[in-house]
Amino acid sequence: MTTQEKITALREELNLHNYNYYVLDNPTISDYDFDIKLKELESLEQAHPEFFDVDSPTQRVGGMITKNFTTVVHDHRMYSLENSYSKEDLLDWEQRLQKNLGDVQLEYTCELKYDGASISITYENGELVRAVTRGDGIQGDDVTSNIRTIRSVPIKLKGDFPVRFDIRGEIVLPFAGFEKMNQELMEIGEAPYSNPRNTASGSLKLQNSAEVAKRPLECLLYYIVGQDLGFESQFKGLEKAREWGFKVPVVSQLANNIDEVFAFIAYWDEHRHELPYETDGVVIKVNSLHYQEELGYTSKFPRWAIAYKFKAEQVETRLNSISYQVGRTGAITPVANLEPVQLAGTIVKRASLHNADQIAKLDIRVGDMVYVEKGGEIIPKIVGIDLGVRPESLERTIYIKECPECGSKLVRNEGEAQHYCLNTYGCPPQIAGRIQHFITRKAMDIDGLGEETVVLLYKNGLVENYADLYELKKEQLLGLERMGEKSADNLLKGIEMSKQVPFERVLYALGIRFVGETVAKKLAIHYKSIDVLAQASLMEMVMVDEIGERIAQSVIDFFSNEKNKENIKRLKTYGLQFVLEEKESTVVSEILKGKTVVVSGVFLKMSRDEMKQAIEDNGGKNGSSISSKTDYLVAGDKMGPSKLEKATKLGITILNEDEFLSMIQ
Annotated binding site for NAD(+): 31-35, 80-81, 111, 134, 170, 285, 309
Cβ–Cβ < 8 Å for 127, 156: yes
- Tally DSSP H helices, then E strands, for the chain: 24, 22
Residue 509, number of CB atoms within 10 A of its CB = 25
Neighbours of 55 (CB within 10 A): 10
Contacts of 103 (CB under 8 A, 6+ apart): none
In the three-class reduction of DSSP (H, G, I as helix; E, B as strand; rest coil), residue 478 is classed as: helix
- What's the one-letter identity of residue 185? L
Rounded to the nearest angstrom, the gap between the alpha carbon of residue 162 and the centroid of all alpha carbons in its chain is 33
Q: Choose, by CB under 6 A, the member of 10, 60, 62, 303 that binds ligand NAD.
A: 62
* Binding flags for ligand NAD, 191-230, as an x/- string (CB under 6 A): -------------------------------x--------
The residue range among 27-35, 67-75, 360-368, 590-598 that interacts with ligand NAD, by the rule CB under 6 A, is 27-35
| Residues of this chain, 132-151, that bind ligand NAD according to CB under 6 A | 134
* Residues 475, 479, 485, 491, CA torsion sign: negative
Q: Which of 444, 437, 429 is nearest to 571 (CA)?
A: 444
Report the binding-site residues. Answer: 31-35, 80-81, 111, 134, 170, 285, 309, 403, 406, 421, 427
How many Å apart are CA 86 and CA 538, to the nearest integer? 60
Residue 406 interface partner, choices ligand NAD, Zn ion, none, CB cut-off 5-8 Å depending on type: Zn ion
> Which partner in Zn ion, ligand NAD, none is near 31 (CB below 5 to 8 A by kind)?
ligand NAD
Name every residue whose Cβ is closer than 8 Å to that of residue 410 and which is 6 or more positions away in sequence: 332, 400, 401, 402, 403, 419, 420, 421
Residue 287 contact partner, candidates Zn ion, ligand NAD, none, CB within 5 to 8 A by sort of partner: none
What is the CB neighbour count within 10 angstroms for residue 638?
Answer: 8
Shortest Cβ 92–ligand NAD spacing (Å)? 18
Catalytic residue flag (residue 113): yes
Three-state DSSP class for residue 28: coil
Interface residue with Zn ion, options 72, 172, 204, 421 (CB under 5 A): 421
Residue 265 CB, shortest distance to ligand NAD, in Å, is 13
CA 594 from chain center: how many Å? 34
Site string for Zn ion, 387-406 (x = CB under 5 A): ----------------x-xx
Query: For ligand NAD, which is the closer residue by CB, 31 or 190?
Result: 31
Nearest to ligand NAD of 141, 657 (CB atom): 141
- Ranges within 108-137 binding ligand NAD (CB under 6 A): 111, 113-114, 118, 134
Q: Looking only at residues 267 through 286 of this chain, which bind ligand NAD when binding is defined by CB under 6 A?
A: 283
Please pick, from the candidates 29, 143, 319, 626, the single residue that binds ligand NAD as defined by CB under 6 A.
29
CA–CA separation, 320 and 444 (whole Å)? 39
Q: Which of 61, 427, 507, 633 binds Zn ion (CB under 5 A)?
A: 427
- 275 vs 472 by CB, closer to ligand NAD: 275
Q: In what order do the strands lie in the sheet with 632-635?
A: 621-622, 596-600, 632-635, 653-655
Query: In sequence order, what are the residues at sequence separation of 6 or more whose Cβ sits closer than 8 angstroms to the Cβ of residue 24?
Result: none
Stretch of 12-20, 240-248, 372-380, 614-622 lying at the interface with ligand NAD (CB under 6 A): 12-20
Q: Does 381 bind ligand NAD (CB under 6 A)?
A: no
In the complex, least distance from residue 325 CB atom to Zn ion, rounded to whole angstroms: 11
Choice among 87, 113, 180, 247 that is catalytic: 113
State the minimum distance, in angstroms, from the CB of residue 420 to Zn ion: 9
Q: E strands along 147-296, which residues?
A: 164-172, 218-225, 253-255, 279-286
Binding-site sequence positions for Zn(2+): 403, 406, 421, 427
Q: Is 527 exposed, middle or buried (0-12, 13-18, 19+ CB in 10 A)?
A: buried
Sheet holding 127-133, edge to edge: 127-133, 117-124, 164-172, 218-225
Q: Which is nearer to Zn ion, 182 or 329 (CB)?
A: 329
Q: Are 504 and 520 in contact, with CB atoms under 8 Å apart? A: yes
**Residues forming the active site:** 113
Q: Which residues bind ligand NAD (CB under 6 A)?
A: 17-18, 20-21, 27, 29-31, 34-35, 62, 80-81, 111, 113-114, 118, 134, 170, 222, 283, 307
